[in-house]
Amino acid sequence: MKYNMSRLIVVGLIAVLAGCSSKGGTKDDVAVEDRGTTADGAVTSGAYGSSDFSSYSLNDPNSPLARRVIYFEYDSAEITSGDQDLLVQHAGYLVANPGQHITLEGNTDERGSREYNIALGDRRGLSVQRILELNGVLPEQITVVSYGEEKPAAEGHGDAVWRLNRRVEIVYQGQ
């Protein structure tokens, strides 16, 4: 009787543990949510409300594709829903232009040690990559590079500056 009970507990524990995802370092896993997309991949927002991505121009300052920076919270690689929408836009263009290559440049603010920030920027770049790939972009089209804190967008200290530096930049090759 006692033996069966402990067995039950062990099995129960294993079941519980199996249900939990592994801890630490998978903030990016939790962050990804597939929101705002319909089955055919069409999007809803923006002036260019059509699914004809070929008409999107990379050089048009009014095109949604003009926005090429994703921002992050401190020590985080989570992407906001608004940014996810943006990424869907970019994904659409890239899917329509499979020959187009992009580099995702991950960055951090200046706080903390440099190599750790390289890894953090890398994590942010991979976060963006995942969403793009989920939306059909081919892996060959994407290169992720992390500059950590080495290439700040804004010099100086303080929250206002730091916020601008915690980012991933989408760099279209050949542009």
Partner 1 sequence: MRKFGLILLLLLAVRPAFSALTIEITRGVEGAIPIAVVPFGWSGGSGAAPENISAIVSADLNRSGRFEALPDSDLVAHPTEGSQVQFQNWRMVNVDNLVIGKISAAGQQYSVQFQLFDVLRGNQVAGYSFNVGRQELRRVAHHISDLIYEKLTGERGAFNTQIAYVTTSGSTANKTYTLMVADSDGYNPQTILTSKEPLMSPTWSPDAGQLAYVSFENKTAQIYIQELGTGTRRKLISFKGINGAPSWSPNGRSLAVTLSRDGNPEIYTLDLKSNALKRLTNSAGIDTEPVWTPDGNSIVFTSDRGGSAQLYRVPAGGGQARRLTFEGKYNAGADISPDGRKIAMVHGAGGGYRIAVLDLGSGNLRVLTDGQQDESPSFSPNGSMIIYATGSGSREVLAAVSVDGSFRQRLSLQAGNVREPVWSPFGK
Q: 167: which strand partners?
A: 71
In the sheet that 142-148 helps form, which strands lie side by side, from edge to edge?
Answer: 69-71, 167-172, 102-107, 142-148
CB of 120 to partner 1, least distance (A): 7
- 7 versus 151: smaller Cβ distance to partner 1: 151
Considering the complex, what minimum distance in angstroms separates the CB of residue 25 from partner 1?
Answer: 2
Instruction: Return d(Cα 144, Cα 151) in angstroms, integer.
Output: 15
Q: How far is the CB of 23 from partner 1 (least distance, A)?
A: 7
Closer residue to partner 1 (CB): 83 or 122 = 122
Pick the closer one to partner 1 by CB: 63 or 143: 143
What residue ranges bind partner 1 (CB under 8 A)? 22-26, 103, 110-116, 118-120, 122-123, 143-148, 150-157
Q: How far apart are CA 90 and CA 104, in angstroms?
A: 12
User: Distance between CA 144 and CA 105 in Å, rounded?
Assistant: 6
